[in-house]
Amino acid sequence: MKGKYLEMVREGELSLYPRVDFKIRQGREVARQYLLVIPILVLALLGLARLGKAFDNSSFTVLAAQAPPGSYVISCLMEAPALVPCLTGNEIPVGTALILKAHVTDASGNLAKNGSLIFQDCLLQGIPAPSIQCDSGPGVWSNIQRVHISGPEDIRIGYGSPSTPQTIGFRFRYLGGQASGIANGISNSMDVTWF
């Protein structure tokens, strides 16, 4: 009896345990499929490696450099009762709201038409501080608000007013890149003093 079953297995017919035989055959089919996939993956990885080397060449650097730097200027306005420039030295009376204005232009002076602005203030141990604490000290620039540019215009956001006299540093980051024709950049730091 055993000899008959061995012959049947050798000829490719079902074994004494058909479920086991089916699983073995199924496993072999899966293995065959993966044997075809492995060379394809190897070729794809080799292609990616070559592509990576191409990006190390100067051609990639030229593409990244196509968006020239622009001009990134932050300025101070106050709400008293109409919108007016801050006093000399960016001073504002306590209780008067600050409005931050971002002005981004390309090398020809054209306003940015798209991209994003991230307005930031300077914090030292979680407390608003002058910009020097963030530019060259232990402070950190903290995001206040992100605004998307949807046309050629200056962007303004309200900051409010502290209840006591103090100086706080501000700046913004512009994210536009190649699509905007203006490189990503950071505005000058600006201190506003409430007195």
Is 140 or 24 the better-scoring residue by pLDDT?
140
CATH code assigned to 71-194: 2.60.40.1940
Most confident stretch, 61-75, 114-128, 150-164, 170-184: 114-128
User: What are the boundaries of each domain within the chain?
Assistant: 2-63, 71-194
Mean pLDDT of the chain: 79
Predicted confidence (pLDDT) per residue in 56-82, tens digit:
444 433 344 467 888 999 999 998 788
Q: Which of 96, 85, 99, 102 is nearest to 175 (CA)?
A: 102
What is the percent of the chain where pLDDT is above 90? 52
For residue 124, the model assigns a pLDDT of 96
Report yes or no: 153 and 105 within 8 Å, Cβ to Cβ: no
Instruction: Report phi then psi at 175, rounded to 5.
Output: -120, 105
Residue 20 has pLDDT above 60, yes or no: no
97-105 β-sheet, strand order = 82-85, 71-80, 97-105, 155-160
Report yes or no: 91 and 77 within 8 Å, Cβ to Cβ: no
Separation between Cα atoms, residue 193 and residue 190, nearest integer Å: 10
Report yes or no: 104 and 175 within 8 Å, Cβ to Cβ: no
